[in-house]
Amino acid sequence: MAEPDSHPITVAIERRIDPDRTVEATSWMQAGTDLATGFAGFLGSGWVRAGEGSDLWYMLYRFRDMATLEAWEESPQRSWWLDSGRAFAKEVRVERRTGIEGWFDAPFATHIETRQFDEGPASPTGPIQQPIPAAPPRWKQAVTIWLGFFPTNLLASWLLGFVPGFTEWPLYARVLLATVLLTPVMTYFVLPWVTRALRPWLQKG
């Protein structure tokens, strides 16, 4: 079984760009992508503007796991690149797709200009227009979470009943223990498995 931090991680960043420096910003964004390609675990990246007259720009990049992502994010190359754009680019939001958003793959945008890379040493195959599926409706997300939570909670409640004296504990103590045990199980194992199993239904329509 894979380690909890061995799943691919997508980072979504929203920035405000000085409208008078869009040409410079375009080269800057591409330079960031080119720098990231030289790092192990890089799976691809892309960026898109919210609209022709908008100052909102969105960037996505994806790494094989947390270790390779942190190697890029803590690198002097990325630090230099970020510093070179501070005069015209302001970061306003960052999301790591490792929670609910990561399970359902809800992106910022519907389409993104991107480059795809072969496995192994990153080598670009060229720019493409890649459709990204929208997040499923909230009610489908709720059903998915419930389908994972109910049997997991039921099994945990049954097993904890064998702990001597557990039923005599105060309610807050029983709930605390249950949540401490179930949260990592749900996050790293149950929900990723359930969402993979239900993906055709989640993406339908």
Quick: pLDDT tens for 24-64.
988 998 899 889 988 998 988 888 887 777 888 888 888 88
Taking the model in full, what pTM does it have?
Answer: 0.50
Residue 66 clears pLDDT 50, i.e. is over it: yes
CATH number at residue 127: 3.30.70.100
How far is the first Cα of the chain from the last one, in angstroms, to the nearest whole number?
32
Pick the last residue of a domain from 73, 99, 131.
Answer: 131
**Residue 205: predicted pLDDT:** 63
Is 4 domain-assigned? no
**Residue range(s) defining the domain that contains residue 178:** 138-203
Q: How far apart are the C-alpha atoms of 169 and 7, rounded to whole Å?
A: 37
Residue 111 binned pLDDT confidence (cut-offs 50, 70, 90): very low
Among candidate residues 76, 105, 131, the one where a domain is terminated: 131
Q: Could you report the per-residue pLDDT of 67-80, keeping only the tens digit for each?
A: 999 999 999 999 99
Q: What is the DSSP string of 143-154?
A: HHHHHHHHHHHH
- The 8-class DSSP code of residue 168 comes to G
- 61 contacts 10 by C-beta, under 8 angstroms: yes
pLDDT digits (tens, 9 = 90+) for 156-205: 989 988 989 988 999 989 888 988 888 888 877 888 788 878 878 877 76
Give the pLDDT confidence score for residue 5 in this predicted structure: 54
If one compares 90 and 184, the residue with the highest pLDDT of the two is 90
Higher pLDDT, 107 or 180: 180
Alpha helices in the chain (DSSP H): 22-36, 66-73, 76-84, 100-104, 138-160, 171-185, 191-203
Residues 53 and 77 both lie in one domain: yes
- What is the token pair recorded at 117? 């890379």
Query: 121 falls in which pLDDT band (50, 70, 90)?
Result: very low
Q: How many structural domains are present in the chain? A: 2
Residue at 99 is within a domain: yes
Write down which residue in 98, 114, 131 finishes a domain. Answer: 131
Residue in the structure block whose two tokens are 């670009």? 124
